[in-house]
Structure 1
Amino acid sequence: MAQELLPLRGHWYKRSDLNTIFEVVAIDDDDGTIEVQYFGGEIEELDLHSWELLELSQAAPPEDWSGALEVDDYTLGDELELAPGSLDDVLNIIDSNDH
């Protein structure tokens, strides 16, 4: 039976069936969908029912979480004194610049 973990934006999970890790990058409560990005860069959209069927465990972010995104300190601008700790940090910066 699959362990029920809530999808949380910016959190990393391991899929046992694919033996790979991914990060939740977006959650659309209205549509009931969860967008995930695998470390290799592939993006997948799952519905809530599919998420619940996955055999998941929590995972630590990879050491080089930005590898698939080709993010560097220059890309992020001068807003950060330190490099961001996760994709969620980068997304929050982008969201704040859009307003």
Structure 2
Amino acid sequence: MAQAINPERGHWYKRLDLDESFEVVAIDRDDECIEIQYYSGEVEELDQASWDLLDIAPVAPPDNWSGAFGTDNRVELDFQADSLESALNMMDRKNS
């Protein structure tokens, strides 16, 4: 029987039946809809009842979280800031 694990956006889980990891990318609590994206890039939409039937376990994000996308959204900053506000201001100036 499947464990009762609540989905959390941005968290990674492993489907034990498929031996595949996925991330919860969106949750619509009003429609009870959960959108997941497998490491391979495939997207699947589940209703709450289907989620509850999954045999899953929480897992750490993969080392290369961009997976099949071949992207890396990390931004490297070449400056130091003494506060979040000053860092945001520096980024704004740099991007304008």
* TM-score computed with the length of structure 2 as normaliser: 0.74
Residue 51 (structure 1) aligns with: 51
Residue 87 (structure 1) aligns with: none
Aligned counterparts, 1:65-80, within 5 A:
65-73=65-73
Alpha-carbon RMSD across the aligned residues, in angstroms, is 1.5
Query: Which 4+ runs in 1 deviate beyond 4 A?
Result: none
**Structure-2 separation of matches of 1:14 and 1:31:** 24
Gaps of 5+ in 2: 78-96
| Superposed CA offset, 1:52-97 (max 9, x none) | 0000101111110112233224xx6x5x64xxxxxxxxxxxxxxxx
Residue 35 (structure 2) aligns with: 35
Residue 30 of structure 1 deviates from its aligned partner by 1.4
- 1:61 is matched by which residue type in structure 2? P
- 2:35 is matched by which residue type in structure 1? E
Give the paired residue count: 77
**Structure-1 separation of matches of 2:56 and 2:67:** 22
- 1:26 is matched by which residue type in structure 2? A
Higher radius of gyration, 1 or 2: 2
- 1:24 is matched by which residue type in structure 2? V
Structure 1, 45-54 or 62-71: larger mean CA deviation: 62-71
